[in-house]
Amino acid sequence: MKTVNALDKVCPAPIIMAKKALKEESEIEIKVNDDMAPENLKKLAQQKKYDYKVVENGPSEWTVTLKKTAESDQPDSAKAGFNEQGESYIVVINTDVMGHGDEQLGQNLLHGFVYSLTEQDVLPDKIICYNGGVKLLQEGSDYLTDLKALQEAGVKIYGCGACIDYFNLKDKIAVGEVTNMFNIVEMMRKQNRIVRPD
């Protein structure tokens, strides 16, 4: 059994680390001290049909054991026929923060969201950025590593030209390609599944 050290890692990192380890192992234990991690790993276990066990090691530290079952690798029949596009989806990002409330928390959440996209079993077909979302595409952006990894994996990334001009980023775009609102509407109209971090 492989042991994964996710101490001092906040979600979604423990989930992503567990999923990576379970691609190669049938059983893992993962050490965590983020309060949310045991419950989030339990949800992963329920979703993927893994056996789940948690042991509290001390104040704010747990060891979670995840073990594949005979049902773990079975395809989810509910996914089939979800729509004509199967698991195809696009991501639309229209701001440089996620959610409403604290701006720093919103930036942290959006970082977690974009990083989590890189670890999905099914990557998006496209990522479309408009309004404040185009700031993610500029030189020096903290999102470039993840966005470039997605682009290299075949994800098409687009930034709204009018928005790029508005924020004076025309010569600073470091990933993706510039498009226009007509094309953005076309792409969104033709896609049944759109994911947007609000």
Average pLDDT score over residue span 135-148: 96
As a whole number of angstroms, the distance between CA 38 and CA 32 comes to 8
Q: What angle is formed at CA 132 by the lines to CA 102 and CA 92, rounded to 5 degrees?
A: 100
List, for residues 1-27, the tens digit of each pLDDT value: 899 999 998 877 888 889 889 989 999
Q: Which CATH number fits domain 90-195: 3.40.1260.10, 3.20.20.70, 3.40.190.10, 3.40.50.300?
A: 3.40.1260.10
What is the domain partition of the chain in residue ranges?
A: 2-67, 90-195
pLDDT of residue 154: 92
Domain spanning 2-67, CATH class: alpha beta
pLDDT in tens, 51-79: 999 999 988 999 999 999 988 866 554 44
Do 90-195 and 2-67 have the same topology in CATH?
Answer: no
Residues 6 or more apart whose CB falls under 8 angstroms from that of 83 comprise 192, 193
Are 62 and 55 in contact, with CB atoms under 8 Å apart? yes
- pTM (predicted TM-score): 0.70
The residue with tokens 């075949």 is 154
Q: What is the DSSP letter of 26?
A: S
DSSP string covering 126-140: EEEE-GGGGGGGBTT
Model confidence at 118: pLDDT above 50: yes
Query: CA quadruple 17, 60, 102, 142: dihedral positive or negative?
Result: negative
